């Protein structure tokens, strides 16, 4: 009887200590991974300038950009060469499966984004069918309304030449019929060509940022570099030069919008 009690006590002791010994190891592993990420960011050097992050350049004269062919777009536009080459591979593969993709929007520099933003800010262009210059007097609320789908100048991923909008600008288009087949194909195959959907449905993993955009896809091999650079170098005080720019810091547009993307598109 004494031996069985002793054996039971020893078993409990070992079980507790083994269990407790796992927790520090797991904690150490997590800490180690976090340190590796910090070191990687600390040693990170981008080949791009901060002006390229902010979109303050002209794509048509930039050596790394190329004009998109008419058969791949519905208007004149430019992309980084690597992004465009990856899209062509995606386009041709989809075509073999009976799926067609056309680029509706590609690189937009700071000045173009400023035109879009200020048109909405001033009421010259409606937002959700409304003139928000009249319906929303509070600057922060007005900025947040525009930010549901449009970026502040200096914060758009379209500045980078890495992001494209495909086929339509309505989520509903991709939820039935032909559009659903296109979206399902992208979900299944886009990653094979380096593309990721940055603006998925907002949830606990992505509580901040723009609303879902099924049409918007980013070329990860390049945009991942820009995202890291934005995390390190882009600050709200650099978001200037347009109407409503003083709301950037109040909203913390860099953290909540520039970096408020699908986690799978970050790294």
Over residues 126-143, the pLDDT tens digits come to: 999 999 999 999 999 999
Q: Kindly report, residue by residue over 163-210, the tens digit of the pLDDT.
A: 999 999 999 999 999 999 999 999 999 999 999 999 999 999 999 999
- Residue 119 and residue 238 share a domain: yes
Mean pLDDT of the chain: 90
pLDDT at 40: 55
Cα gap 166→130, rounded to integer Å: 26
- Residue 29 and residue 107 share a domain: no
Is pLDDT of 5 > 90?
no
pLDDT at 49: 96
Question: How big is the chain by its Cα radius of gyration, in Å?
Answer: 24
- Residue 216 and residue 142 share a domain: yes
- Residue 5 and residue 136 share a domain: no
Is pLDDT of 17 > 90?
no
Q: At 3, is the pLDDT very low, low, confident or very high (cuts 50, 70, 90)?
A: very low
Q: Identify the sign of the CA torsion 196, 152, 147, 236.
A: positive
Q: Counting runs of H as helices and runs of E as strands, what totals does the chain give?
A: 10, 6
Burial, 210: exposed, middle or buried (Cβ in 10 Å; 0-12, 13-18, 19+)? buried
Is pLDDT of 7 > 90?
no
81-96 and 177-189 are packed helices; what angle lies between their axes, rounded to 10 degrees? 120
- Residue 138 and residue 109 share a domain: yes
Least confident range of 27-36, 139-148, 208-217, 230-239: 27-36
pLDDT at 11: 52
- Residue 112 and residue 14 share a domain: no
The larger pLDDT score, comparing residue 3 to residue 156, is at 156
- Residue 95 and residue 9 share a domain: no
- Residue 176 and residue 122 share a domain: yes
pLDDT at 171: 97
- Residue 223 and residue 110 share a domain: yes
Residue 90 contacts residue 193 (beta carbons within 8 Å): yes
| pLDDT above 70: percentage of residues in the chain | 84
- Residue 122 and residue 35 share a domain: no
Counted domains in the chain: 2
pLDDT at 214: 98
Cα gap 208→189, rounded to integer Å: 26
Give the three-state DSSP class for 216: strand
Is pLDDT of 16 > 50?
no
State the pTM of this model. Answer: 0.84
Q: At 32, is the pLDDT very low, low, confident or very high (cuts 50, 70, 90)?
A: low
The larger pLDDT score, comparing residue 107 to residue 19, is at 107
- Residue 98 and residue 208 share a domain: yes
Domain span holding position 36? 1-43
Is pLDDT of 21 > 80?
no
Is pLDDT of 15 > 80?
no
- Residue 208 and residue 149 share a domain: yes
The larger pLDDT score, comparing residue 146 to residue 22, is at 146
Query: If you search the block for the tokens 């998925």, which residue do you land on?
Result: 200
């Amino acid at each position: 009887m004494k031996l069985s009690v002793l054996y039971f006590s020893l078993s409990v002791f070992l079980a507790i200590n083994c269990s407790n010994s796992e927790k520090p190891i797991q904690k150490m592993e997590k800490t180690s991974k976090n340190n590796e990420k910090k070191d990687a960011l600390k040693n990170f050097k981008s080949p791009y300038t901060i002006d390229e992050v902010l979109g303050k350049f002209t794509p048509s004269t930039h050596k790394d950009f190329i004009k998109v062919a008419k058969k791949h777009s519905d208007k004149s536009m430019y992309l980084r060469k690597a992004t465009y080459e990856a899209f062509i591979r995606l386009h041709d593969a989809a075509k073999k499966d009976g799926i067609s993709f056309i680029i509706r929007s590609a690189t937009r520099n700071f000045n173009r984004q400023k035109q879009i933003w200020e048109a909405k800010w001033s009421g010259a262009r409606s937002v959700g069918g409304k003139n928000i210059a009249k319906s929303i007097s509070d600057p922060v609320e007005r900025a947040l309304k525009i930010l549901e789908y449009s970026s502040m100048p200096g914060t758009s991923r379209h500045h980078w030449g890495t992001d494209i909008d495909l086929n339509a600008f309505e989520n509903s288009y991709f939820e039935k019929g032909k559009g659903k087949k296109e979206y399902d194909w992208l979900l299944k195959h886009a990653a094979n060509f380096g593309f990721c959907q940055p603006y998925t449905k907002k949830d606990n993993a992505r509580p901040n940022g723009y609303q879902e955009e099924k049409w918007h896809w980013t070329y990860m091999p390049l945009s991942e570099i820009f995202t890291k650079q934005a995390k390190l170098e882009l600050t709200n005080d650099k978001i200037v030069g347009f109407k409503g720019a003083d709301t950037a810091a109040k909203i913390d547009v860099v953290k909540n919008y520039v970096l408020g993307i699908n986690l799978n598109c970050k790294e």
